[in-house]
Structure 1
């Protein structure tokens, strides 16, 4: 009975502590999060094939977990602009006719993204939001995978690409000083073209559906 009484008392105290006010125009929020990136990577079209891909060849990009920083500016009480900073690295492997083949190695992606977000909720409560905006994927220092090298590829390049992102999440206030727990999900819609070269000759060109799910969780600081 004593333990139950203490638990009820602790709950009463927690409920009595007011949460932070909803964001106002001019506020800035910084989020430090861990991000799980799960791209697709499958081939949508073969533009050039001088090596003779086996029938049924398909591809898949691997997943990754990376640290990310998001910076958000409230242009009005319920409307904000958010951009993210981070780099994620992926390999691309074959499926179907080239199952398990290493095709792209260490493709570093900078997913430059700007979303417009609308925030719901009342003062002191949780603050769910939705958002959408453009994204530009910049590929850095990618290389041909082990199988591609064995087949004669000496260089590999992914084209930088413009796409679109949809977003939804929630900020859960922890105290009155702007600290919150945040959970965020984005779905990107983006295509990229992969180029493989043997010396200076392009021998393979394929168009890929990247379309990653990007799931983040961490802490937010608003001031």
Structure 2
């Protein structure tokens, strides 16, 4: 860490400690804008029936995320998050030499019920649990896969799953705060790869860990 970064960090902490408590209350709306990293904790199965000894991995992604929290009480809130990221499947096992197999965009709106521990403090930790629905769109086979086996159509099934969350808000003043947030999302898909008359299937448990940092506003 450079001296400039260290000074900036110290200054931000000083502002946090000096901030007037925000006194979060029932009826408040919290809006956060985060930068997130989406890190699949994946388990990718083989491409069947053609490549039974294959496997793979799913790439990480980085993106902006926006969320909205409505406080039902001083301690309980409901949060809706939305972001979209692009991920690719890299071949493994007997498909390792091919490299990238396919890419898709992922839209996983997630609704969580949160408990906020310190509504009258300057630091507001919270935990949450809820449900996630994931839509996969704009799926495309890679040029590497097309070269290896021919023109291939890729279709991924959508997913329902649970979501777990933990985070903390640090007040800068009565309206503005800094946020750190971590989520685990239960997410899976079945991929159908159609190459002429040949149909292959691949099952992937994606289960991403989503880590975000950003700024929020209280209304």
TM-score normalised by length of structure 1? 0.85
Equivalent-residue separation in structure 1 for 2:102 and 2:57 (angstroms): 10
Residue 132 of structure 1, aligned match among 129, 134, 141: 129
Match in the other structure for 2:204: 208
Match in the other structure for 2:105: 108
The answer as to 2:22 corresponding to 1:24 is no
| Shift of residue 203, structure 1, vs aligned partner | 1.5
Does structure 2 conserve the Cα–Cα contact (< 8 Å) formed by 1:54 and 1:98? no
Give deviations 1:108-137, integer Å, cap 9, x for gaps. 110110000100125232000000111011
| Shift of residue 148, structure 1, vs aligned partner | 2.2
Q: Which moved more, 1:120-129 or 1:69-78?
A: 120-129
Q: Assess, with a 3 A threshold, how the Cα gap between structure 1 residues 148 and 45 changes in structure 2: closer, same or farther.
A: closer
Question: 5+ residue gaps in structure 2?
Answer: 1-10
Residue 167 of structure 2 aligns to a residue whose secondary structure is strand
Does structure 2 conserve the Cα–Cα contact (< 8 Å) formed by 1:22 and 1:127? no
Match in the other structure for 1:156: 154
Match in the other structure for 2:8: none
Equivalent-residue separation in structure 2 for 1:16 and 1:144 (angstroms): 51
Residue 98 of structure 1 aligns to a residue whose secondary structure is coil
| Shift of residue 59, structure 1, vs aligned partner | 1.1
| Shift of residue 98, structure 1, vs aligned partner | 1.6
Residue 147 of structure 1 aligns to a residue whose secondary structure is helix
| Shift of residue 97, structure 1, vs aligned partner | 2.1
Q: Assess, with a 3 A threshold, how the Cα gap between structure 1 residues 18 and 39 changes in structure 2: closer, same or farther.
A: closer
The higher radius of gyration belongs to: 1
Residue 76 of structure 1 aligns to a residue whose secondary structure is coil
Match in the other structure for 1:40: 41
| Shift of residue 45, structure 1, vs aligned partner | 6.6
| 1:13-92 to 2 correspondences below 5 Å | 17-44=18-45, 48-49=48-49, 52-53=50-51, 55=53, 57-92=54-89
Match in the other structure for 1:7: none
| 1:172-191 to 2 correspondences below 5 Å | 172-176=170-174, 178-191=175-188
Q: CA RMSD in A?
A: 2.1
Q: Which moved more, 1:208-217 or 1:146-155?
A: 146-155
